[in-house]
Chain A
């Protein structure tokens, strides 16, 4: 069942065709067809708990926007069964803010922004999975060494790039002093004065900067974090 993740990691997208989904309509999501029940007596009524279906159900539970007849479970089931495609669901920023554990995270807003591509206000399931794919453990890639294709989303370098983008708001490939100050202020709240914060920022940039431009480029960022176990600190273990 890791094949679904392989597709996402390599191509950065969840294409219906490649996972064996029923209809090839890129804009509409049909849930995948699954193999029939095997052990009828032991497990009489199983539902598939593949990670994708569980994450899809998590995604739809975040989406509170849809009310009305289509949200009735029986109607949806019947439509889905007869292969009518349902309009793709999407999630807006407020839906993420409704998660309490995310709302109390000091970097909550930045994390939410990471889901939304440039200038967009809603994210569909594909984008959701793409962003989450960054947090797959690196060891997945050991099994499929594909030198020709693009680097998978969860490689060490791509993870670091993702973290870099959390600092770098204006996407100019540099972390300036202001950007660093912004993130620091988010993390410490009101408990540290401006001067102290400024001196922390200055010292950090001073130690990391090698080409003297008073900003941290991606290469310098990687150098600072070379001893950090990115694999452990930036991976989420998905069950099953």
Chain B
């Protein structure tokens, strides 16, 4: 009996230390100045401001670990794309009209898209320059050297035989307190750093954020209370959803129902009109993106009026891959992936509230908010719709391209034949 207690105590103590350790390593890059170790194992922390006084020994040790954990430069694409427009390429040297060489422009653009395109890249895990020892992020795992294999095997042992059972044990023992989202984040060794907390969303506002995984909800909920608008899930996740969301303040939809935009908007409008209700949390992208860019924001939530509080969430890919590819992994597989990664480290920035201006239309406003979020999180902005993950692109885009080409070929209402001079 005593041995169980001892094991239990040591394992909780270990997990308590692991979480601040990951947070510490993540902090190192962020501000680059020395800081203190987090105090003791007794006080679990989720969010922590780093201080600028600190022991130099810890600092240099930390720097060494940090150097070993590599500077994660993000990979650029496979090819270098020249962003020239159709007009420049085709109509460049001549007046207009058709030329046999026009086909070269379209074929080059097409092959560039085959080699590397902006959109499908976002729907799978990010490619990293330096590997973080999780086989799931090394898409092309192949034998490099025995040293690396050795380190990788040690990593597997640690993650599956040490971190996994400890986390499961902590999760089970905390199950009675599962209604508190903060514990969920903690059991995954989440080291979340909140910035600008004075801009936290107020009651009666709408909070919008970029979407990477269901964890986003947990992370935001650990720092404030929100009502959620989201998809009702079936299966195990649905049961968890139902048990956790006991209050009537949440708004859940089926994905097919979301097409009925009027219904959605009506419900949201009623909700924010009532100033005592919690702010609504909305992910306007509509689906999980892999955290390297921000895709098109659906204009629905921007049309209802009210104050928008943008939030930018950026995960650190060195410690774990939180992106949920819902077509490839079920919720159970995804959960398993999460508890076997090193840690979940992310930065959350609360941005100042924004309001739609008088002459602005919803689409323009949505783009404005999107640009602000992307700029803060260091992600690129894409005009493409996240829904392309599941469905095909609309024909009308192709027709736009065709129309553009026509305008070059037909000049002044007459149809000419252009020749290169």
Contact = CB atoms under 8 A, between A and B. Distances in A.
Nearest to B89: A233
A227 B420 contact: yes
A127 interface: no
A239 B80 contact: yes
Interface in A179-195: 183-184, 187-192
A51 B77 CA distance: 11
A237 to B, nearest CB: 4
B406 interface: yes
A168 B149 CA distance: 51
A193 B142 CA distance: 55
B109 interface: yes
A58 B400 CA distance: 28
Contacts of A81: 141-143, 149
B382 to A, nearest CB: 10
Interface in B306-336: 328
B381 to A, nearest CB: 16
Interface stretch (A8-16, A100-108, A147-155): A100-108
A196 B105 CA distance: 22
At the interface, is chain B mostly helix, strand, loop or mixed? mixed
Interface in A192-240: 192, 196, 199-200, 203-204, 207-208, 216, 221, 224-225, 227-228, 230, 233-239
A236 B115 contact: yes
Q: Chain A interface mostly helix, strand, loop or mixed?
A: helix
A107 to B, nearest CB: 4
A88 interface: no
Given A163-B103, A188-B409, A100 B138 contact: no
Contacts of A228: 101, 104, 420
A46 B70 CA distance: 9
Contact of A77 (B98, B129, B135): B135
Given A105-B106, A238-B79, A111 B147 contact: no
A45 B78 contact: no
Given A108-B110, A166-B107, A239-B77, A34 B392 contact: no
Contacts of B419: 207
B61 interface: no
Interface residues of A, number: 83
A162 B148 CA distance: 43
Contacts of A224: 100-101
Contact of A102 (B79, B114, B128): B114
B360 to A, nearest CB: 27
Nearest to B136: A73
Given A36-B147, A107-B103, A191-B402, A236 B108 contact: yes
A85 interface: no
A103 B107 contact: no
Interface string B129-156: 1111101101111111101110100000
A42 B417 contact: no
Contact of B143 (A33, A53, A62): A33
A224 to B, nearest CB: 5
A199 B388 CA distance: 39
B32 to A, nearest CB: 18
A117 to B, nearest CB: 16
Contact of A234 (B104, B127, B398): B104
Interface in A108-131: 108, 110-111, 115
Contact of A105 (B149, B328, B398, B417): B398
Interface in A43-62: 43-49, 51, 53-58, 60-62
A49 B75 contact: yes
Interface in A74-111: 74, 76-77, 80-81, 96-108, 110-111
B83 to A, nearest CB: 13
Given A58-B78, A105-B109, A80 B402 contact: no
Contact of B402 (A135, A167, A188, A227): A188
B112 interface: yes
Contacts of B149: 81
Interface string A1-44: 00000000000000000000000000000011110110011111
Contacts of A54: 78, 127
Contacts of A234: 104, 107-108
> Which of A58, A76, A80, A196 has the most CB atoms of chain B within a 10 A radius of its CB?
A58
B113 interface: yes
Contact of B78 (A51, A97, A221): A51
Contacts of B114: 96, 99, 102, 111, 115, 132
Given A47-B140, A107-B107, A191 B406 contact: yes
A192 B144 contact: no
A86 to B, nearest CB: 12
Contacts of B276: none
A224 B324 CA distance: 52
Given A103-B392, A106-B405, A189-B403, A53 B140 contact: yes
Interface of B: 67-70, 75-80, 89, 97-120, 124, 127-133, 135-136, 138-145, 147-149, 151, 328, 384, 388, 392-393, 397-403, 405-406, 409-410, 415, 417, 419-420
Given A111-B110, A115-B114, 11 more contacts: A34-B143, A44-B68, A47-B128, A76-B141, A167-B100, A187-B102, A188-B402, A192-B409, A200-B409, A238-B115, A239-B80
14 contacts: A58-B115, A60-B139, A61-B139, A76-B141, A96-B114, A100-B388, A102-B114, A106-B401, A132-B115, A184-B98, A190-B399, A204-B99, A221-B100, A236-B111
